[in-house]
Chain A
Amino acid sequence: MILGWILLFGFLLYAIFISPSDILEIFRDAEEFEIKSKNALYTSLSYELLSSGVWIFILYLFKNLMQDLIAGPLFTKLQIASFKLIGQLIIFITILNELFRFVYKVIFNKRIEINFDHFNLWFVIFGLFLIFLSKIFNQARIIKEENELTV
């Protein structure tokens, strides 16, 4: 994923500083977006960079969370905050993705189209599940603390 991100970043730099037409040629047959102009190319590449950057950050948080869950004690504040943040980021990026698709088509393809074919409802459900899990962990932390402070 990180390699993919570096590759995208390379494409963007190449398009900006060297030759946008070469990169346009690569993406001309892209199914998802119809990239026909330089601006469309810059916009889609920048968005893909941002989106994949957020996914890399989510994976990094997930890795830290897993390490903490395996090694440390359960129901810590880090675990609660991580579950909540990962859930929020997943929901945010899924909705942002759909919004971007809509705005991109309005601006560059000159058509208003609401299409939920690419909308991944399971990601939103998974994000909500993680937020719910963080609430359960928070409740468990309170009960654990009460139990430890019972003499």
Chain B
Amino acid sequence: MPININLDKILEERGMKSNELAEKIGITTANLSILKTGKAKAVRFSTLEAICEALDCQPGDILEYTKN
């Protein structure tokens, strides 16, 4: 998919673990893993908002578009 998720990079920069973030934003680690691995078909605005709030970043920092 041409949309890349840079969640791993941001998590590393913030020094936060995946399960910690999952707990903070109220989703399961399995769902967070789906998001991180790029298997997700869609992301809810509410989830994106919660991630941005927890990691203190912008949606553009997490999502990146690359041409095929």
- Name A's B-contacting residues (CB within 8 A): 145-146, 149-151
Contact = CB atoms under 8 A, between A and B. Distances in A.
B67 interface: no
B39 A150 contact: no
**Residue of A146, A149, A150, A151 with most partner-chain B CB within 10 A:** A151
B51 to A, nearest CB: 9
Contacts of B44: 150-151
B57 interface: no
**Residue of A145, A146, A150 with most partner-chain B CB within 10 A:** A150
| Dominant SS among interface residues on chain A | mixed
Interface in B3-42: 27, 31-32, 34-35, 39-42
Contacts of A149: 34, 39-42
Given A150-B41, A150-B43, A151-B27, 8 more contacts: A145-B41, A146-B41, A146-B42, A149-B34, A149-B40, A150-B42, A151-B31, A151-B34
Nearest to A142: B41
A50 B49 CA distance: 63
B47 interface: yes
Contacts of A150: 40-44
Closest 5 CB pairs of A and B: A149-B41, A150-B42, A146-B41, A151-B35, A151-B40
